[in-house]
Each structure stands twice: as C-alpha cells, then as structure tokens.
Amino acid sequence: MKTYIVGNWKMNFTVGESSLYLHKLLGKIHSYRDIEVVVAPSLMALQSLSLQTDRRKIKLACQNFYYKDFGAYTGEVSVAQLRSLVDYAIVGHSERRYIFNETDKDIKMKVASALRGGLTPILCVGETESERTFGETVDVIRDQLLGGLSDVAKEDVSKVIVAYEPVWAISGHGKPARVASPLDVADALKIIRNILKETFGPKIASETPLLFGGSVRSLNAESYLSIGDCNGLLIGGASLIAPEFTDIIEIAKRVKNDRNY
C-alpha cells in the first residue's frame, strides 16, 4: 500500500502565491512510486495549479464540494466540475463539521458523490476534547466512520481513504492544540481498523488506507508514520512551509524503506 502525504492549505495563499509555492515544491520533490503526495489548495487556485503541476510528483485535492452533480445551487461546485482538475476530495473535515455545520447526511452523500465521479474521498473522523473526556471516542469514531460510508457499496469501501483527525489535536479551533501521542494515534487507528474489519471483513479493512492528521510537524512525523496501522498523514499548517513539508515527505520515504527492508 502507498503512503499518502496530504497537505491541506485551507484558506491560505492567493492564486499567485499558490502557483509560486507549488513551483517551489515541484523543484524539491522527487517522484516516488510508493509515496503519493497530494495538496489541497483553495478552490480559486485549482484550475491554474492543475495545468502547472506534475502529477507524477504532486496530485491535487479539493477541500470541499457539493454532492449534487449539477443544478441551481448558487456558490457551489460539483465533482463533475472538479474531476478534470483533482484526483482527491477531502470530506468531513472537522472545520466543515463544526464551523460550517455539515451534517452526517451531507458527509455520506459527499463520499458517495466523490466515488461516483471518480475521485478518491479522504473521509475525516475524530472526536472533540469533551467527547474524549467523557469516554465517547469509540462511539464518535464508529458513528462518523460508518455514517460516512453508509452509501458506499461494500466493494468500494477500500477506495476511500480514512483520516483520523482528533479535533483536540488540531490548532485553529480557538485555542492551541494538544499534541496527540503516538500511543493515542495507534489506539484510534486500531479502533478504525477493527470497525472496518467487523463491518466489511478483514480483506477490506487491511486494504483501506488510514491517515493521521493533527498538528503534524517534521519533528513528530516519523513517530506517527512508524505506527503499524498508519498509511500516511493529513497535514495542515506544516504543509504551508516548504522545508517542513518536503522534510515530512523524505521522512515518509525513509520509514517506507525501513518497513520494506
């Protein structure tokens, strides 16, 4: 299975800045057969960056979309409009859930829409600090995971990438994030893998890529990538800093080589 390094740029960089930054990354990153590098720029930048990028090195993802294919939905964009530009689609990110009030229904329909349109959805799941404090982590992960996959045919489940992103470990939610320990992450990824195994069987569970996202930096990336169930990282702030992002990619390659040795 590939290792996925996904950079979520969120609402940062103008179109021009995005182009300059992508140019810088392309000059620093090599093409790896077993490492998939993906960046998710703002919607405004996707068109120009899709013409600029070398997809052997860096593929593109959208940060958001609407689940209808076309229609009178002012201000929205569909998978049908995005599929010539991107290969991946982030779905269910905590900022979409908790700031923009996306519902479980919205998220399951987006996952199905992405698959229907030929994109690989990156389904984000994770608990808040209060849910963790009250011992609700397993229930929250189960509800978000199975809810997001509820409109997906069993044979398509392993086409979905699942990213564990605990809200309490993500900066930008009103207070500094706490750092998730490798043990915390290993436990959560094991929960996800077990839920997939119980629901869809061991083969699908083993073939579904699992990522971690939560204030990842080059200093802690190796500790997360070394977790047995971890198949990559979903990176926020560090993906906006070229030396940090490229260092994480090199760390991923080194860990991958060590696993294959």
Q: Could you say which of 93, 95, 102, 127 is catalytic?
A: 93
Exposed/middle/buried for residue 72 (C-beta within 10 Å: 0-12, 13-18, 19+): exposed
- C-alpha neighbours within 13 Å on the C-beta side of residue 92: 33
Supply the Cα-derived Rg of the chain in whole angstroms.
17
Q: Is 173 a catalytic residue?
A: no
Q: Could you say which of 36, 127, 165, 244 is catalytic?
A: 165
Report the C-alpha dihedral over residues 184, 186, 192, 198, rounded to 10 degrees.
-120
Other beta carbons within 10 angstroms of residue 198's beta carbon come to 11
d(CA 185, CA 199): 21
Q: Is 36 a catalytic residue?
A: no
d(CA 26, CA 166): 30
d(CA 171, CA 234): 13
Find, among 197, 132, 194, the residue nearest to 165 by Cα. Answer: 132
Find, among 19, 27, 23, 25, the residue nearest to 7 by Cα. Answer: 25
What letter represents residue 174's amino acid? Answer: G
d(CA 36, CA 70): 30
What single-letter DSSP state applies at residue 83? T
d(CA 34, CA 36): 7
Question: Which residues form the catalytic set?
Answer: 93, 165
